[in-house]
Chains A and B, each alone.
Chain A
Amino acid sequence: MVDFLERPGELMEAYGQDTERKGFFTDTSICIGCKACEVACKEWNQNPMKGDLEILGSSYDNTGSLGANTWRHVAFIEQGQEQIDKARESGARLVGLGMPAFGAPETREPNTTEDLGMPEFGSPGVRIKNKVDNPPNPDTPEFRWLMSSDVCKHCTYAGCLDVCPTGALYRTEYGTVVVQDDICNGCGTCVAGCPFGVIERRDTGTIHTKPDRVDSRYSMDVKHKGTAKKCTFCFDRMVDGQTPACAQTCPTQSIQYGGREEMVDNAKKRVTAMHEKGLTEARLYGANPNDGVGGIGSVFLLLDEPEVYGLPPDPQVPTKDLPKMYKKVGIAAAGMLAAAATAFLGARKK
């Protein structure tokens, strides 16, 4: 059967350039919730603000979710002891499942750079399975405040890209998924195609002033209105070897940027280290090439189930089932033709 899934890397190859797939690693365990990523992203990309200027009722999160104008979004989750315990258990269960520890490096890498990097937490070479036999059992805190900067996943199998009818969405030579604002005609199919609710058509976005101040002086230019918008991985910085705005500004390096493989490695080391400390609530999101979207370009370290952060627990690229659907389309079409033919059988003009 024909398969519409991309072979990972095939399109990068098609560029005939020697480029590396780029990735983010968002380590939510060190996110301080400052939202610099949201702002730096908007500033660089000249996105309009959201406009409502109201407290949304979600702790310190007042932008709500990713969307056409917000390409980095920081979630705030307040949790009591019971939820923390639950998160520890669900994380520990992942270990218990005997999930493979993908290519954990055998040798310990020294803590080289002046960057935050990974602290020295024992040896990542040891397999988790062995380690959790006797994990330290740190006290569960009474309360925690999770913060996490969400972003476009830049999936290996990108639903938005696949369903785009114009080719506006495409895979760049860096393996990222970008909408070309000069091509997109705003059909909106990609919005439905994304399993993560990331991409959105930009219909609004302005400086909302008080009613008595509505005045052209205060209106802000809304660019690319009517087209689908999402994180471009700062494509226009990447082509110049620059770091995307969010990663560059992130004060604690909760957002790391680099080669996707390196990011996944960092993520694995970090989760291993946290598990060694008994912090079994830590888990990775999007590092598995076998998952429903083939792994994602922007890997996350989460401290609870994905749905707590507003992420789907088992996303699948819809394209996976497209051959099956096309088969149904064909059968249906044939059936319809057959029905029509049947209708005319024996119906000769008298």
Chain B
Amino acid sequence: MAEAHPVGFQWVAEAKARGAKLVHVDPRFTRTSAMADKHVHIRAGTDIALLGGLIRHVIENDMWFKEYVTHYTNAAHLVDEGYQDTEDLDGLFSGFDKDTGGYDNATWQYEKDPYEADGIAKDMTLQHPRSVFQILRRHYSRYTPEMVGNVTGIKTEDFLELAELIGKNSGRERTTVMAYALGWTQHSMGSQFIRTAAILQLLLGNMGRPGGGIMALRGHATIQGSSDIPTLFNLLPGYLPFPVAGKHDTLRDYLDDAVPKDQKGFWSNGDAYMVSLLKAWFGDDATEENDFGYQYLPRLTGAHGTYQTLMRMFDKSVDGYFVLGQNPAVGSANGRMQRLGMSNLKWMVVRDFQLIETATWWKEGPEIATGELKTEDIATEVFFMPAANHTEKAGTFTQTQRLVQWRHQAITPPGDARSELEFFYDLGVRLKEKLKDSTDPRDKPLQAMTWDYPVDEHGEPSAEAVLKEINGYYTTGPNAGKPVDNFNQYKADGSTAGGCWIYAGVYAGGINHAANRVPGKDQDEMAHQWAWAWPANRRILYNRASADLDGNPWSERKKLVWWDEEQEVWTGKDVPDFPIKRPPSTKTAHDTHGPDALAGDDPFIMQSDGKGWLFAPKGMNDGPMPTHFEPAESPVTNPLYPQQESPSRVLITSRGNQLAPAGDQPGAEVFPHVFTTYRLTEHQTAGGMSRFLPYLSELQPEMFVEVSQELAAEAGLEPYGWATIASPRGAIEAKVLVTQRMQPVVAGGKTVHQIGMPFHFGVGNQALVTGDSVNDLLGMTLDPNVYIQSAKAVACTIMPGRRPRGPALVKFVEDLREQAGITVLTGHRRLTFERDAETMEVSDPPTLTDPEPHTGE
């Protein structure tokens, strides 16, 4: 956090000065570790084992927060009789589908009990063997301190110290917060890493309370916003799922499946959110008769994530590619494939401040040097469109705590530079103009799309007008055209339009609340009058959980929101995240649904049962509870299960994306080490915003690799000399930093050397500082829930000296692969144990079949 979010770290420093303990778990000793009370060296990619061990420790040592867990989580819920655990199935849950690697979650459901108002069978003593609590306990029963040590490489005494610290620092009086960044997300099980942390925090009663929770330390100014208002294939704004062909053919199908009315919580109002969105997009063309234009929306037929799209480029089935303030030639996994993929496009538009490597790969990329691509043979047209930066346009960023902050425009963009807003507005105007007379039904959605935003004298559309549309407004009645105040005013009948329901209220009363700027020193620590947080300017989510069953704060120290007996309302320092007038004693009534069905002790109001989920009956594609599997290509054989890797991981099969053998398989010794990638304080992501800036470039001017003294001795690496690092995908060179900050760990009976490399450098001639890109070494093995690649624990080898130049580089990598006996199918076995081999064995790779990376024409 001190490395990548230094200014956020001021609050940690302050907490520390007031006596808080800071523990940093990382494969590397970083600037954060330097500030921590304790640094725990972990083997990269084994966080579920550590967190699972902590869960076990907390349960077995009775450190869990009984009242909280019993009433605010689903601990007491009983799970279907058909449910089988990984303990029973050698690492699989019941419902595994060997063809897709996914699960049918039918057996993960709660047992029904018609006598309960919410229909769920429960055992409030938590003793029932099929209660979530007991299932959880059994699931992690083998995650003992010794086992944790064997998997993660963490010394038992370090683990116990950490466990005691966390356990004792949680309860009524105290809370523990966890913060993570890409170290948890960029794994083939990243979602489950975070789930494990969530389970632990629920057990300790740290959710919905001040000083608790899990902080996603997001790395980009509005990466939160770009999920809220998503430019992501699988989502519509406000986390409404994008319609899927076959499942969501009509609006009714969509609503019944995605946001069913018969569940508890606020998602059951999803029809209002969806219809308002359609109204915002298609305006008067969106009527009840045409399902509010639902049919105008395209449909998904599977994953269309960035890596799947890349593979489609090789089929020549993607013509045009917009790259907007992004540098996939450096920043995306398997850089070589990224660049080769782009060489198969007909055209691409790169919008950026600088001539980043994604704009120049066709003449300066590494494949030109190796001869794999020839500039004269590349058909791709490239448009470089200069972009306006944050000072040159107005608009909002949503930061890591969901705070939507408005930026005022300071100056006009120079030269041809334009904002994304202006570029896309202009593109939209041109498209509509060209299609205005079309009678082709395909063009109807574009014709219907509302696109009338006021523009200023420079042609820049008003961001505030767009924000107002995002907020939502009335379409009919006396308030027509006026902004809504909150999402409860969204209606499913077309009388409201709104682009993103969770942002409703940001423009309440016609005031841009994102621009609120009452100085922090003039308000309390919640600072509600500084910008605006979704939802409803609420700063801590699920904050009903900060009060006990009776609605009183768990403790004076930790009070946030409570039930005011006299006024009969929820009140407190934050905007209560609960139906404001619902007393804590309320019980769920039969035949209620939606928000009305929430009981007084259902703090988790977006969940279909109002409870925090220790066990996820739905929503996760790779299991209801996190389970430790080894990362792809791990040198360690999974000590916990015969199943080596996550059976649900998404594999991309291609000659350009081959994997190293794992564990003790033959050839694994060719790529014996594990590398992990990271950000440096001095740079940003793929370098587009830092390697072109003199003041930042000089601070970290060269690509480097961090190795332990032990590995340096073993591999003959010279301090500050060059080293070549190779994976089955490529080879790069870097300056060597030999440091005690890196330490080998012993896991699975093996010494594992971990190597660290920053991910900022890329090959080109335009930036002030350049270097080989570590992402060229990454494979594309994806998390099955969010399709993020595994980048934090990857197999490699390291040797002294610079890498080969020219075509020899390709041959060098090929030879290494050959030496390791790697084929396109290496590492593709879904199941690695011989249980019921006949039915379970999956030998063929899944979905995407081998597109040979074409080069050039």
Give A contacts to B, CB under 8 Å.
30, 32-36, 38-39, 42-43, 48-55, 57, 59-60, 62-63, 78, 80, 114, 116-120, 143-147, 207-210, 212-213, 220, 251-253
- B31 near A78 with CB under 8 A, answer no
Q: B704 within 8 Å of A by Cβ?
A: yes
> CA of A62 to CA of B701 in the docked complex: distance in angstroms?
8
Contact mask for chain B residues 691-707; partner A; CB cutoff 8 A; 1 contact, 0 none: 00011111111101000
Residues in A neighbouring B19, C-beta threshold 8 A: 119
Interface-side segment among B312-320, B607-615, B736-744, B775-783: B736-744
> CA of A50 to CA of B766 in the docked complex: distance in angstroms?
19
Contact mask for chain B residues 31-56; partner A; CB cutoff 8 A; 1 contact, 0 none: 11111000000000000000000000
Q: B29 within 8 Å of A by Cβ?
A: yes
Q: B514 within 8 Å of A by Cβ?
A: no
Residue among A32, A38, A118, A220 making CB contact with B35, cutoff 8 Å: A32
19 CB < 8 A contacts A-B: A35-B681, A49-B698, A52-B701, A53-B698, A53-B769, A54-B702, A57-B720, A60-B31, A62-B699, A78-B739, A78-B741, A80-B740, A145-B31, A146-B34, A220-B694, A251-B9, A251-B13, A252-B13, A253-B13
- B768 near A51 with CB under 8 A, answer no
Besides the known contacts A32-B32, A39-B696, 16 further A-B residue pairs in the complex with CB atoms under 8 A apart: A35-B681, A35-B682, A39-B695, A49-B698, A51-B698, A52-B698, A52-B701, A53-B697, A78-B739, A78-B740, A118-B17, A119-B16, A207-B694, A213-B765, A213-B766, A251-B10
Residues in A neighbouring B445, C-beta threshold 8 A: none
Q: B14 within 8 Å of A by Cβ?
A: yes
- B6 near A32 with CB under 8 A, answer yes
Residues in B neighbouring A42, C-beta threshold 8 A: 695
Residues in A neighbouring B704, C-beta threshold 8 A: 55
Minimum CB–CB distance for B133 against chain A, Å: 37
Please give me the residue from chain B that is nearest to A42 by CB atom: B695
Contact mask for chain B residues 1-37; partner A; CB cutoff 8 A; 1 contact, 0 none: 0100011011001101111000000000101111100
Q: B719 within 8 Å of A by Cβ?
A: yes
> CA of A116 to CA of B14 in the docked complex: distance in angstroms?
5
- B739 near A251 with CB under 8 A, answer no
- B34 near A49 with CB under 8 A, answer no
- A60 near B698 with CB under 8 A, answer no
Residue among B521, B719, B769 making CB contact with A57, cutoff 8 Å: B719
Residues in A neighbouring B31, C-beta threshold 8 A: 32-34, 60, 145, 147
Minimum CB–CB distance for A35 against chain B, Å: 5
Please give me the residue from chain B that is nearest to A209 by CB atom: B768
- B6 near A36 with CB under 8 A, answer yes
- A62 near B695 with CB under 8 A, answer no
Minimum CB–CB distance for B855 against chain A, Å: 26
> CA of A146 to CA of B740 in the docked complex: distance in angstroms?
13
> CA of A313 to CA of B568 in the docked complex: distance in angstroms?
68
- B29 near A55 with CB under 8 A, answer no
> CA of A137 to CA of B259 in the docked complex: distance in angstroms?
60
Residue among B10, B13, B29, B719 making CB contact with A143, cutoff 8 Å: B29
Please give me the residue from chain A that is nearest to B704 by CB atom: A55
- B700 near A60 with CB under 8 A, answer yes
> CA of A50 to CA of B31 in the docked complex: distance in angstroms?
24
Contact mask for chain B residues 734-770; partner A; CB cutoff 8 A; 1 contact, 0 none: 0101011100000000000000000000000110111
> CA of A178 to CA of B357 in the docked complex: distance in angstroms?
43
> CA of A62 to CA of B680 in the docked complex: distance in angstroms?
13
- B6 near A251 with CB under 8 A, answer yes
- B34 near A145 with CB under 8 A, answer yes
- A147 near B34 with CB under 8 A, answer yes
Please give me the residue from chain A that is nearest to B20 by CB atom: A119
- Contact flag A145-B6 (CB < 8 Å), given A35-B682, A62-B698: no
- B17 near A54 with CB under 8 A, answer no
Residues in B neighbouring A212, C-beta threshold 8 A: 765
- A49 near B697 with CB under 8 A, answer yes
- A35 near B768 with CB under 8 A, answer no
- B739 near A59 with CB under 8 A, answer yes
Q: Which of A51, A114, A143, A144 has the most CB of B within 10 A?
A: A143
Residues in B neighbouring A62, C-beta threshold 8 A: 698-701
Residue among B17, B698, B739 making CB contact with A119, cutoff 8 Å: B17
Please give me the residue from chain A that is nearest to B19 by CB atom: A119
Residues in B neighbouring A147, C-beta threshold 8 A: 31, 34
Q: Which of A32, A53, A62 has the most CB of B within 10 A?
A: A32
- Contact flag A252-B10 (CB < 8 Å), given A57-B720, A78-B739: yes
> CA of A144 to CA of B32 in the docked complex: distance in angstroms?
11
Residues in B neighbouring A80, C-beta threshold 8 A: 740
> CA of A53 to CA of B693 in the docked complex: distance in angstroms?
12
Residues in A neighbouring B34, C-beta threshold 8 A: 32-33, 144-147
Residues in A neighbouring B769, C-beta threshold 8 A: 53
Please give me the residue from chain B that is nearest to A81 by CB atom: B740
Residues in B neighbouring A57, C-beta threshold 8 A: 719-720
Contact mask for chain B residues 675-698; partner A; CB cutoff 8 A; 1 contact, 0 none: 000001110000000000011111
Residue among A30, A33, A54, A59 making CB contact with B681, cutoff 8 Å: A33
Residues in A neighbouring B696, C-beta threshold 8 A: 39
- B2 near A34 with CB under 8 A, answer yes
- Contact flag A38-B699 (CB < 8 Å), given A145-B741, A212-B765: yes
> CA of A252 to CA of B696 in the docked complex: distance in angstroms?
20
- Contact flag A35-B699 (CB < 8 Å), given A145-B33, A251-B10: yes
Residues in B neighbouring A118, C-beta threshold 8 A: 17
Please give me the residue from chain B that is nearest to A79 by CB atom: B740
